[in-house]
Structure 1
Amino acid sequence: MNKLLFLLLALPTLAFANTALKLDHAPVNVHDHESLQRGARVFVNYCLSCHSANYMRYNRMQDIGLTEKQIKDNLLFAADKPGELMKVSMRPKEAKEWFGATPPDLTVIARSRGADYLYTYLRSFYRDDSRPTGWNNTVFDKVGMPHVLQELQGQMAPVYMTETDHEGKQHQVIERLELVKTGKLTPAEYDATVADLVNYLVWMGEPAQTQRMNIGLVVLAFLGVFFVIAFYLKKEFWKDVH
């Protein structure tokens, strides 16, 4: 009886595991300021026209090595002052009419979806004339978002294979994507650009994480030193008792 109950409880988990997406590993390093700066440039130029980052201020990018002048000259396209939030002018109602859904705010999207998901998703768009935007995605089927990075990546087309399900029925499924029209970047360069963008999104989700980790190391070092002092104090106080 107990074994049967365990199997019943495990079935949903097993079913989910079998249908889980295979995600590529995102090479995230929030200590790499050059990567974060490149990612910030891609984000402002390609993402910020539709997606907001309402909980992030432009001047916070000084934490990744940019000066206020660099932010003003190179990244401040949708605001007047570096202290402003990273908002978009597009109205939510209009966005829903154009894309079928309001583009989500991206401030904490990396914490919500995960770096591996974003890295795979941004490299999985392919041409699909049946979709209103002309694009689809192997990670997010029937996605409403167009491929905004297509000029960099180029156009990918699906290569299909025949798969037989558990009922013996055959289906056409996407085996892989192949490049049919080149973009401004080579495939390796595009992957590196997406990695920089995802790296920036991860950092933006928690800009204080580097500082928090540094403070944590200092606290651990202090506790380690204090432990030695406390140990010898304890020995001194209790030496006559023992």
Structure 2
Amino acid sequence: MKKLMVMLLALLPSLAMAAGGGNVHLDAANNDLSDKESLQRGARTFMNYCFGCHATQYQRYQRVAEDLDIPTDLMMDNLVFDENAKIGDLMTNAISEDYAAASFGAPAPDLTLVARVRGTDWLYTYLRSFYADPSRPFGVNNVVFPSVGMPHVLEELQGTPRQVFETRTIDGEEVQEFVGLESDGNGELSPGEYDAVVRDLVNFLEYSAEPMKLERQRLGLWVMGFIVIFFVLALLLKKEYWRDVH
């Protein structure tokens, strides 16, 4: 019974992150884990805009630098903001769970495995679905995750998105129907440039969730090839062994 309780408690963060969403259309992220430049840009965006609250505590700075072809000195000078951190340290941040809970209503979840929990399409759509909502504590809400508890940290890049409605007549009655989001144009990036930044960020988060994914897939092809060759040899051996019997 005690083991069962421990397993359930371990699942709670994933279950909490899986809450919310509803039947919202998800846009395809179309990530490419082989694109090192995209992963480097994604790492830069993550460290500058997300790492203040969200850690990736199951990663190490050194592993990220090696996998993404980032020189160690460049990594330490530009992507590691803790002056006491070493290149071999885990990627944890300074914010405590108590402070995060007091600030945001709940501790900011670790994002190492978020791409596996949520999916890349969900993340890509979510980060492009914030909109202004004065009723919320941080002045924003999210179409994909209603009543979201975090600010729109990429707002300076995107601008302030607002809901767009169209008036339609249904059964002789005029109703306001939500048709999408539109930025106020005050962001540093155009809509296309912002989408590219989000795609790079999601690409990095997908890498974080499984750094060995490409290697696993490559080895999988070799394993399948070996199985096919072994099967052919075994079949020929069987025929040779039973030839005189039949």
TM value normalised by structure 1: 0.84
Identity %, equivalent residues: 50
Cα deviation per residue 1:12-38 (whole Å; 9 max; x = unaligned)? xxxxxxx51111111112222221111
Cα deviation per residue 1:113-160 (whole Å; 9 max; x = unaligned)? 111111111001112222221111111122121111111111111123
State the alpha-carbon separation in 1 of the partners of residues 111 and 129 from structure 2. Answer: 19
User: 2:62 pairs with 56, 59, 69, which one?
Assistant: 59
Which residue does the alignment assign to 1:205? 209
Task: Give the total of aligned pairs.
Answer: 223
State the alpha-carbon separation in 2 of the partners of residues 29 and 163 from structure 1. Answer: 40
Indicate whether 1:142 and 2:147 are aligned. yes
SS at match of 2:101: helix
One-letter amino acid of the counterpart of residue 27, structure 1: N
State the alpha-carbon separation in 2 of the partners of residues 174 and 85 from structure 1. Answer: 43
Structure 2: stretches of 5+ with no match in the other structure = 1-21
- What are the residue-to-residue correspondences of 1:89-108 with 2, within 5 Å? 89-108=94-113
Following superposition, the deviation at residue 164 of structure 1 comes to 9.4
Structure 1: stretches of 5+ with no match in the other structure = 1-18
Indicate whether 1:49 and 2:56 are aligned. no
- Do the aligned partners of residues 131 and 169 (structure 1) sit closer, same or farther apart at CA in structure 2, a change above 3 Å counting? farther
Computed over aligned residues only, the root mean square deviation of the Cα atoms, in angstroms, reads 2.3
State the alpha-carbon separation in 2 of the partners of residues 34 and 88 from structure 1. Answer: 25
User: 1:219 pairs with 223, 235, 242, which one?
Assistant: 223
SS at match of 1:175: strand
Which residue does the alignment assign to 2:17? none
Which residue does the alignment assign to 1:174? 178
Which residue does the alignment assign to 2:80? 76
Q: Which moved more, 1:19-28 or 1:69-78?
A: 69-78
State the alpha-carbon separation in 2 of the partners of residues 169 and 94 from structure 1. Answer: 49
State the alpha-carbon separation in 2 of the partners of residues 130 and 36 from structure 1. Answer: 36
State the alpha-carbon separation in 1 of the partners of residues 220 and 174 from structure 2. Answer: 55
